[in-house]
Amino acid sequence: MSLSELINCLCGQYDDVIVMGDLNARVGKEQTICPEVGVDSSRFFLQRASGDSVVNSKGTQLIELLDEYQLFILNGRCIGDTDGAFTYIGASGSSVIDLCCGTPGAIKDIEKFEIGCEIYSDHMPLCVSFLLEQPHSEKWLPLLPRLPWKVNHRASYQVHLENLVLDMDSRLDSIDDESAALVKEIHGAASSAAMVSSQKLTSKQPWWDWECIRAIERSFALLGLHRKSNSEMVRLDYVKANTYFKNLCKTKSAAFYRGLADRFAGTINTINNN
């Protein structure tokens, strides 16, 4: 199914439609919304901005298709991406080819649209936040992270927590305020009792080490710098750093599992010889 067929099918069945992803079309700053459409001017702009000024033939065809079905591009138009950030940053250059488009009925429920910052792909993630009504009678508490527990610091933690709780303000207005205050004291007690280390190496991968951390931090730093500066030199440095990071991960992973296999083979040989 082609993109035009998909859009025709969706818009023929639904009033509220959002189409987003790698559309592989460069649309520059094209597509202006008429004031008569009545979009919320506090969240959306009638004219788009973009870091990519190029309009190619695919982009022209896409604009015609979107206009036909009243699908409006949010890149460079919505709160969160007012400048039209690059969505593709790779060896062949930087561009805006990953788009989020919505009908008037759909975008009225969108609070924010932004381009994420990740290095696992040359295409940046498209992030959409929706306006959701929350019942007044129900409040949501955030999920709490699990703190590390050190048995030998238990007594110190208990003393610190007891002292902090005794000093808590007893005039808090609601159970939510009291819960937030208690969570704050728990974190404070854990920190004072040295339950939480200032720096630790954590990863789901057994081969992950500080060299990997330094490489990924450099890659993210260069990506952020390129998005701010739009410098071609920085883009090339980012591509080089990100390629190095990915190759480093492949090398360390292969070396780890090759060593693991060698150790298993050595163990089996020892058993057989005995």
Is 66 domain-assigned?
Answer: yes
Q: 35 with 68, same domain?
A: yes
23 shares a domain with 123: yes
Residue 266 lies in a domain: yes
Question: pTM for the full model?
Answer: 0.70
Instruction: Specify the pairing of strand 110-115 against strand 98-102.
Output: unpaired
Whether residue 242 is found in the same domain as residue 175: no
Q: What is the pLDDT of residues 102-152, one digit of tens each?
A: 999 999 999 999 999 999 999 999 999 998 776 555 555 566 666 667 778
Q: 93 or 263, which is more confident?
A: 93
pLDDT digits (tens, 9 = 90+) for 180-217: 777 888 888 888 877 765 555 566 788 998 899 999 99
Q: Say if residue 116 is in the same domain as residue 47.
A: yes
Q: What is the CATH number of the domain that holds 32?
A: 3.60.10.10
Number of domains in the chain: 3
Residue 98 phi/psi, 5° resolution? Answer: -100, 115
SS3 for the chain is: CCHHHHHHHHHHHCCCCEEEEECCCCECCCCCCCHHHCCCCCCECCCCCCCCCCECHHHHHHHHHHHHCCCEECCCCECCCCCCCCCEEECCEEECCEEEEECHHHHCCEEEEEECCCCCCCECCEEEEECCCCCCCCCCCCCCCCCCCCHHHHHHHHHHHHHHHHCCCCCCCCHHHHHHHHHHHHHHHHHHCCCCCCCCCCCCCCCCCHHHHHHHHHHHHHHHHHHHHCCHHHHHHHHHHHHHHHHHHHHHHHHHHHHHHHHHHHHHHHHHHC
What is the CB neighbour count within 10 angstroms for residue 66?
23
Q: Is 115 exposed, middle or buried (0-12, 13-18, 19+ CB in 10 A)?
A: buried
Give the span between the Cα atoms of 77 and 81, in whole angstroms.
7
Q: Residue 265 — very low, low, confident or very high, per pLDDT cuts 50/70/90?
A: confident
Nearest C-alpha neighbor of 48 from the set 28, 26, 66, 62: 28
Token duo for residue 7? 């859009």
Give the separation between CA 204 and CA 22, rounded to whole angstroms. 29
Residue 88's pLDDT is what? 97
Residue 258: CB atoms within 10 Å = 10
Residue 63, domain member (yes or no): yes
Domain boundaries, position 14: 3-130
- 104-118 per-position pLDDT tens digit: 999 999 999 999 999
Looking at the domain assignment, is residue 241 inside a domain?
yes
